[in-house]
């Protein structure tokens, strides 16, 4: 039996952080009902996509953040929509929302209101800066949090300045943080019988992601400089280098690995040179060492160097593109790629990314469809809530 079988989760979230949290629960068999605005649905349905898929409200980003959910289209500002939302949350184990703080209260689905009808509910609010404090009302998106948290100040080249990370790192990790908090709250409820309110902030998550650099600043006041693709190890054998047909990254952390890299490169004689005979000496003569290493690495292909360096126990990998990474045969053994059904009757089945862990028993689903249409499951969910045929018709009429 998967961990969350029998749990009902009401997902009022949109964009990516909240949907990702709910999906982590859905892939372990929670019944997740995703509440979407009628018509357009979740805003993520129309972004990061082709114009054709956006017009169909089928963005790949939406699909991969909403696996195994049922979509219920509700106008939360209408009387019948509010009644349906009230019935949903009163029978829920978990409620997740990521509105701007204060919005859930206006819609009548805030924690205090929900708790009055459902005392042992686990209620998770996800926002940019949390539910309290002077910045709580501010809206937030991944890129804005990257800038505001100092994350961009750690990424980029000295010559060109800070740069944004090219994917939604803060959104996804905030979702994972929320799923972890919810799992912990469910365990606590099993032990105590008590529900809990959870306040998860993107800003907090971004800072926690930089825990090593953050600790360095908090302890000794050090602000790391922009280093581009160089390694913070400040060793000649650590960093990114060109080969004859691409790039590799050497991650030599220990002195043994650094010495092994020099031997693999045919530069063992440097270990007799006082400038490179110790880790401290190599640190002091960093650029001199790299000037000697660069032409050697440029003399062979990436594949050749990977074989040579790995044979010497040196941590090294090619700098690959996303397509190469997603085609790696290692994924056949990991279960990360999920069979997710067809977009329509004429298309081939799509493959999406699922949960990033493997369990020996009852692990995450490897076949799981997202709700392809807004409100795809509205009628069946409303029937489960006990609405009459006429009430269901009235509720569905709120959709364009």
Q: Which residues are catalytic?
A: 171
**Secondary structure (DSSP) of 253-264:** -SHHHHHHHHHH
| Structure tokens given for 199 | 């306040």
Which residues lie closer than 8 Å to 345 by C-beta, 6 or more apart? Answer: none
Contact present, 263 and 308 (Cβ < 8 Å):
no
3-state secondary structure (DSSP) of residue 36: strand
- β-pairing, 196-201 vs 69-73, is unpaired
Contact present, 286 and 235 (Cβ < 8 Å):
yes
> What are the beta bridge partners of residue 349?
342
Q: Could you report how far apart the first and last alpha carbons of the chain are, in Å?
A: 40
- In the block, tokens 């009230």 appear at 86
């Amino acid at each position: 039996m998967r961990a969350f079988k029998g749990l009902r989760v009401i997902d009022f979230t949109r964009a990516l952080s909240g949907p990702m949290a709910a999906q982590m629960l859905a892939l372990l068999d929670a019944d997740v009902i995703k509440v979407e605005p009628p018509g357009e649905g979740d805003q993520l349905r129309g972004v990061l996509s082709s114009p054709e898929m956006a017009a169909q409200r089928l963005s790949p980003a939406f699909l991969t953040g909403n696996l195994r959910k049922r979509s219920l289209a509700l106008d939360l500002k209408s009387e019948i929509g509010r009644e349906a939302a009230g019935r949903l949350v009163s029978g829920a184990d978990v409620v997740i929302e990521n509105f701007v703080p204060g919005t859930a209260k206006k819609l009548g689905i805030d924690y205090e209101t929900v708790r009055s009808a459902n005392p042992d509910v686990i209620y998770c609010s996800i926002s940019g800066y949390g539910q309290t404090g002077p910045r709580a009302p501010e809206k937030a998106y991944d890129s804005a949090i990257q800038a505001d948290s100092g994350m961009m100040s750690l990424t980029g080249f000295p010559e060109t300045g800070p740069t944004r990370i090219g994917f939604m790192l803060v959104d996804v990790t905030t979702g994972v943080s929320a799923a972890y908090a919810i799992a912990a709250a469910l365990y606590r409820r099993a032990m105590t019988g008590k529900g809990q309110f959870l306040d998860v902030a993107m800003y907090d998550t971004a800072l926690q992601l930089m825990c090593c650099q953050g600790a360095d600043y908090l302890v000794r006041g050090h602000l790391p400089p922009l280093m581009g693709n160089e390694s913070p190890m400040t060793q000649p054998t650590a960093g990114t280098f060109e080969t004859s047909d691409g790039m590799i990254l050497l991650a030599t952390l220990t002195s043994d690995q650094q010495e092994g890299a020099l031997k693999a490169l045919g530069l063992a004689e440097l270990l007799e040179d006082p400038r490179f005979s110790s880790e401290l000496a190599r640190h002091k003569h960093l650029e001199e060492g790299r000037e000697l290493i660069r032409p050697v690495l440029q003399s062979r292909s990436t594949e050749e160097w990977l074989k040579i360096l790995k044979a010497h126990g040196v941590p090294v990998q090619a700098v690959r593109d996303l397509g190469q990474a997603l085609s790696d045969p290692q994924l056949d053994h990991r279960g990360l790629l999920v069979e997710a059904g067809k977009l329509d009757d004429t298309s081939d089945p799509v493959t999406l990314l699922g949960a990033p862990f493997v369990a020996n028993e009852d692990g995450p689903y490897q076949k799981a469809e997202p709700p392809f249409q807004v409100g795809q499951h509205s009628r069946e969910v409303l029937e489960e809530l006990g609405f009459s045929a006429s009430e269901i018709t009235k509720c569905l009429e709120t959709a364009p």
